[in-house]
Amino acid sequence: MTKKRRKYPASFKFKVALEAAKEIKTISQIASEYEVHPTLVRTWKNRLTEEGLKVFKTKGKKEQKGRAVEEAQLYEQIGRLKMELEWLKKKSILFD
């Protein structure tokens, strides 16, 4: 009989990885406490330390400029759609 894989929520993974990163307890102790395999704890800890930098990284000027351009295009599209809607409302009165 095969066992189904357990899926852990992100909050649980973060909690375990953070505890492992503090290095107060050993990986084995943490794994037995949370009933997960030590390899998983090590993997989650490594991901936290490697990708944790992305959380605090500030956005570059290129990203901000790109977002501003995209925002301007969206506002332009909203304006066009509003004008079309008003035009259609005026024309629909004529056909009623």
Roughly what angle, to the nearest 10 degrees, separates helices 10-22 and 27-34?
150
Same domain, 31 and 62: no
Is 31 domain-assigned?
A: yes
Residues 40 and 12 in one domain: yes
Taking only the tens of pLDDT, the chain with its 96 residues reads 677 888 999 899 999 999 999 999 999 999 999 999 999 999 999 999 988 877 666 666 777 788 889 999 999 999 999 999 999 999 888 887
Q: State the pLDDT at residue 93.
A: 86
Tell me, yes or no, whether 52 and 14 share the same domain: yes
In a shared domain, residues 12 and 48: yes
* Count of structural domains, the chain: 2
Are 19 and 26 a contacting pair, CB within 8 Å?
no
| 12 and 43 belong to one structural domain | yes
Length in residues, the chain: 96
Residue 37: inside a domain: yes
Same domain, 33 and 70: no
List all residues 6 or more positions away from 13 whose beta carbon is below 8 Å from its beta carbon.
44
Nearest-CA neighbor of 12 among 39, 44, 37? 44
Residues 32 and 64 in one domain: no
For residues 20 and 41, is the Cβ–Cβ distance under 8 A?
yes
Residue 61: per-residue pLDDT: 72
Residue 81 domain boundaries: 58-96
- Does residue 3 contact residue 10 with C-beta atoms inside 8 Å? no
Output the pLDDT for position 96.
Answer: 72
- The whole-number pLDDT of residue 83 equals 96
